Amino acid sequence: MSRFSFLLLLCIMSFGFQSHAQTASKWSSGFDWTKRAAAREKGRWSLSDWLAIKEKNQMMDQWLSLNSPSPYELMLGGSYLSYDKHVQDGSSPDKSATSFSGELAAYAQFVGLGLEYANINPENYSDLSGMFNLRLLGNSLQNTGFTLSYGMRTRDMTDTPATKLRQQFGQADLQLYLTKHFGLDIKYRYFLPTTNDQLGDVKEDYSEAGAFIDFKALRIFGAWYKESQKLTPAGSTVETITDRTGIKSGIKIFF
């Protein structure tokens, strides 16, 4: 092979390699099958992925169950009552007295039951109240909340003549935290009018406003309260109004 022929062959081979490289480069710039495969791989579902997600969800559920507050709540409280009794028509003298009361409340999320007992020895009667509570605002007994209640109170009077007075009532209770540990509590209870054989027609309402301080599960509270009772004996149009106004103080324990 002559030198001229050899040089011509090298030129042809060099031109062919260059043309092939340009064609390959042009093809790769327009379509990259490896990128599409990688994209499909990212969205691929597999059994191992599903098992990993399931295990992760189980661990999250376990953590939430251990760290979330229980939907069940219990409160136990005791109070000391110091009050003045005043009869507006002057049929009996004013008097000051003291007594004790206790209360119990149990909640499951936003519904609950309550029980109250007060032994008013100076006036020879005791009160037992049961109620159904519906919490419209708030998620616990130790949080800002608004609660409506409906219940029944039975007043057992042992004085002469002995009698029992049963009254249904509705109640609204607003609890407002001003800081993390200090707050206000405002309550109003309205008793439905009823008729008693010995007392005649009975109307009554109850108001309470106070403040409290929380020390973790312990609450110390104090409140001003007023109970107003109106009695109209059978066959009479004269209404006797009795007010009991005083201070209520005590403690509550939350479970």
The domain in which residue 225 lies consists of 72-254
Mean pLDDT, the chain, whole residue set? 86
pLDDT digits (tens, 9 = 90+) for 65-89: 566 667 899 999 999 999 999 998 8
pLDDT score at 98 = 95
- State the DSSP string of 126-184: EEEEEEEEEEEE-SSTTSSEEEEEEEEEEEEE-SSSPEEEEEEEEEEEEEEESSSSEEE
> Would residue 97 count as lying in a domain?
yes
Parallel, antiparallel, or unpaired for β 182-196 and 111-120? Answer: unpaired
What is the identity of the amino acid at 208?
E
Mean pLDDT lowest among 4-18, 119-133, 223-237: 4-18
> Would residue 170 count as lying in a domain?
yes
For residue 9, pLDDT beyond 70:
no
> Would residue 134 count as lying in a domain?
yes
Choose among 198, 210, 192, 178: nearest CA to 79. 210
pTM over 0.85: no
> Would residue 19 count as lying in a domain?
no
What is the identity of the amino acid at 134?
L
Total domains in the chain come to 1
> Would residue 57 count as lying in a domain?
no
Give me 111's structure tokens.
């519904």
CATH of the domain at 129: 2.40.128.90
Choose among 170, 175, 250: nearest CA to 209. 175
